[in-house]
Amino acid sequence: MTSEPYLVIGAERPAPWLIACDHATNRIPPSVAGGTLGLSDDEMARHIAYDIGAEGVSRTLADTLNAPAILSRFSRLVIDPNRGEDDPTLIMRVYDGTIVPGNRNLDAAERERRLNTFYRPYHAAYAELAARRRDTIVVAIHSFTPRLFGREPRPWHVGVLFDPRDERLSRPLLTHLHAQSDLVVGENEPYAGHLAGDAIDRHGLIPGRPNVLIELRHDLIETPEQQASWGSRLAGLLEAARIDANL
């Protein structure tokens, strides 16, 4: 396991794509409360700690597209790299009904330490990869739970999240996804498509790079075989969308 707060794969690969997986792992680094936030192994295996299956999909997608990828190496419960620094959900004290003991009494000094140790180095590496060429296309891979505690089941197999200010890639991708007869596709579902200061805002929208965030329901990507299948499938759909968008 790398000691860095991120892992870069294929930095020299030639494709314009950049694959990002902000919530790739449920790892709590040893420097954070001795490697535990006070949650059981069962809780740490839930979606509250990471995006289940997203890392495997991202790796296959990057390999298939011959593109670089950046993966986080710390749990979103340590600090969430897909939030702005001033977002109140940057470090969660309660998530989907679960209290996070190691975050309950977090002080300003520990918050700043986590920013400097994990969050800021991740985004610095992300920015460097994105700036490697002028035509970078940013694709963020996430997964979502089929059902939040006390809520209705989510029907979507895949969601495409985007901001209306830049639909260059998302619209043609949605067209290709809607043409897949076996899929229920969400447009800015199960979440709204943009938060100020989030990773896509920072590395896609603000610099003017084509971008899209893809959410996969995690019961569809739990096994390595499912992850490889979805990674390959998305690669073809994204390439078709890129050609349609003349990117």
Q: In whole angstroms, what is the distance from residue 5 CA to residue 151 CA?
A: 33
Per-residue pLDDT of the chain (247 residues; tens, 9 = 90+): 457 899 999 999 999 999 999 999 999 999 998 899 999 999 999 999 999 999 999 999 999 999 999 999 999 999 999 999 999 999 999 998 889 999 999 999 999 999 999 999 999 999 999 999 999 999 999 999 997 666 788 999 999 999 999 999 999 999 999 999 999 999 999 888 778 889 999 999 999 999 999 999 999 999 999 999 999 999 999 999 999 999 9
Q: What are the b/e assignments for 16-54, b being 16+ CB within 10 Å?
A: bbbbbbbbbbbbbbeebeeeebebeeebbebbbbbbbbb
Residue 244: what pLDDT?
98
Can you read off the two tokens belonging to residue 116? 């400097």
Q: How many CA atoms lie within 13 A of 104 on its CB side?
A: 8
CB 51 within 8 A of CB 75: no
- Closest Cα to residue 62, out of 1, 126, 24, 15? 15
